[in-house]
Structure 1
């Protein structure tokens, strides 16, 4: 199998053309400000700052990037846009969005139908400026984010291959995290050691082609995020530099950033033999995840999957221990559309990649959550996360 070298120009070009085809002639052009959308259509990965970056996609799929002068060579040499334009600085003597308006007018789009993700550049790092609707007041603006999200949700074969590789290295980082966790050491020590060693292994194995290009995960990452003992009842806690103790229930997280993509692996583990209530919650959590797995197939609605899982919580007396929906899309972002939620009627399609992560949370006992990255296939679903789920494999020495 050939080495992974990222998303090629022909694929991002096809994405831009595919977006215009999906919009079916309802707009004359598209303007995007979201950095993840820009990366998806151009492969240009950058750090959003107060200096706006904008992408214009014409009716034929031709792409023009507007970037600050300091990003010009970066965008030209590492992105796939056919044209890269630059402005000097923000806010400068003439605001960058006004210059972008000049560009739109010069392209004959001053009174056009323009699809947008948002009406101007977002408030990042103190940015301020006019709305796009103020810059081109004669244009008809239409929000198209749902169309963009639906396109991003269906992964190409190459995207799936990159995510598989991310799963592999996320599992390696988690393996080291599990091996180094023991009473008396801190979560920070264990996280740093496991992440550093796994990242070194990954970059060496994938050299010389490895690139991260992911905003959310750098390298091969494994962590606890403070979900240790009772603090595990906070689903999105932060590192508290906890010291591991015998009897702790642990909730982990792992993944790897490769070529702009990531994956998600989470496990519930125990330091020492779990007691009856810990085992009960663990088994119930596994039952909820198994139920979700059984329902994932093309044609199923996200709302139906989450609805069935929520009914499982009700029937098992767990409503007070429910905190979040069953899962979400994965790809460039750690959370993407669609969402396994009763409010999302998206129909699952082959090529979608999602997390499956129903959790149980009890302030006295902590958190109980596995998360697996799965691929919707033509006949059902495939679990891309290859890491043990069973209780006996997740009990650590006390």
Structure 2
């Protein structure tokens, strides 16, 4: 089932999928001085606050499971896993359980683009119209979220940098209101999925088939903001998937598999969960009046179906172990287990602040912070979160990588996006105090 918005007391598409935008992971670690000390002391860290958080959510049956993964530098990670794949089920969650990571797909897509930039096949400030001519003469809504026929010409071209940083002026069905939202739905511009099951508050709509069709239809609709003018959460990473296809000459999902997943040893990350792996797939829950209700059971999940196109902004399923390998590769500036997956410069640039000088973040979810290749950047940290309760980041100043996975929607039912980095910070402070 794809989705279209009906704001109701039960649930709304915006509430379900806005989770990644509220991520504060890494911000609490900014400038934290104790990370290097903790790395130097060696051995397994004593993650008491993180363990307490995981224990609390699972023991109170707020979630079926929770797995926290924390690693220093290039060392093997430590896993804190509790619960079962489904409430009342027999199979325990662990490092290889499978989770819908939703918007944590965005940093992976962003790094794929950085690889092509590093290889000279894309330019950071290259107009995307050079690869996708349909974007040569874009129109912009004169009034934000107003009429889609009262438009003005774009003042500047959409660039790769803008797609990476949500500053291209593109909209998002989970963010916009008014006629543009209806137009996105009517055109099948639906870059995500929730369930095969009819859910109160979410109607059925049919996504377009093919990333090329998605890109072509998106170009026919007006932008919601002038390109390069403001940070606005958007479908830009989905469109970037099509740019990657054209620049690389490979299907987007194939590029990710061959250039990132395979060399990084990520053997459990897919757009479609193979039938052979359903036994380790979690169930996703909707939180209704404080109670978890199955909304995408593993054995009947929509993620067992091939998606209409590979959603570069929200489409991947992964495991705690696999996503840690992605973070480990980033923390190693492109190298993991002695193997280079990305160029060092590509990682350094991709995890830095890439916001255009012309773009403001005032009044947005990332006000006062930076934004890199598909993820938030805050004084040494880079990361993002997902709509079903997942969070991940690297912190270069602390030499730390961390991710937390669970499955529930909407993500703001519980303060996990904020709570996880706060728990990590509390544990780092305790380690520093113990050493002193």
- Specify the TM-score bucket, using the shorter chain as the normaliser: under 0.3
- Structure number, greater radius of gyration: 1
> RCO higher in 1 or 2 (8 Å CA, sep ≥ 6)?
2
Q: Normalising to structure 2: TM-score of the pair?
A: 0.25
Q: Normalising to structure 1: TM-score of the pair?
A: 0.27
